[in-house]
Structure 1
């Protein structure tokens, strides 16, 4: 598992190239929130950048997954989340699911961190007995954000 600092440093380099683009919110900085190992899953957290917010997943090295650019499903007790796989010489194999882009609705880092924290709370929640999530479909980004913002699922 790569450390939070290495992942953040990688995205700060990318941020230097993004700085003048209209999707770039200069009030935000790169931060990987909640980065942790999750048994049987690998490691995950929410990556905040000035241009997007992604669920960032690093599957176990021995996981059998499709090729880079393909979709893989991250299965957690809270539901299934569709991610795109990436391969990078510095970060190795990892996957991401877009949560928000662009980031213009966030006036500052505190608001982005609050949203990222709520997303982490929701995806890492273990359902109560008898309320297992439906595996009939993937939880959409819209449904996840509706839940994070306190709306109906």
Structure 2
């Protein structure tokens, strides 16, 4: 459980992961570095975006002692204005339990850290914006939240 913003701890843990486990892997964008973006408390969760040279993920960490952690490989769902998002449980020794929802997995299109940070911030902002629908456009099923959020619904 984190009583204060876990952003600095997240960055420390994922920088170590970058150095120890991800070094030299072909899907790493060397122009990017680890950053915890916009972590704020939302009910029982600390919510924010993790930017790494290998992806952008929406992370949830515990803000309360009795934070429920689903069994390994079991998705947990959270509803936001942009839709319903599926998270998978993870655990790092120095961080504890957390939930992760991958948003972007190919980081090679990002030329620099500033562009990647702007994208991470935009992802966090977009999470709290409901989709705009015309009267002629039917509502998409709630399970398509991540696809709508990323603009992949056609």
Structure 2-normalised TM-score?
0.80
Stretches (4+) displaced over 3 A = 125-128, 139-142
**Counterpart Cα distance in 2 of 1:20 and 1:7:** 21
* Residue equivalent to 1:82: 86
Q: Give the drift of 1:145.
A: 1.8
* Residue equivalent to 2:135: none
Q: Give the drift of 1:90.
A: 1.7
**Counterpart Cα distance in 2 of 1:15 and 1:64:** 28
User: Pairwise CA RMSD of aligned residues?
Assistant: 2.4
Structure 1-normalised TM-score?
0.81
Q: CA offsets, 1:18-60, max 9 Å, x none?
A: 121110101000001111111x241111100001110111144
Q: Give the drift of 1:69.
A: 2.9
CA contact (8 A) 1:54 1:96 kept: yes
**Counterpart Cα distance in 1 of 2:27 and 2:131:** 36
Q: How many residues align?
A: 143
Match of 1:12 among 8, 15, 18: 15
Q: Give the drift of 1:65.
A: 3.8
Gap runs ≥5 in structure 1: 129-133
1:143 matched to 2:151:
no
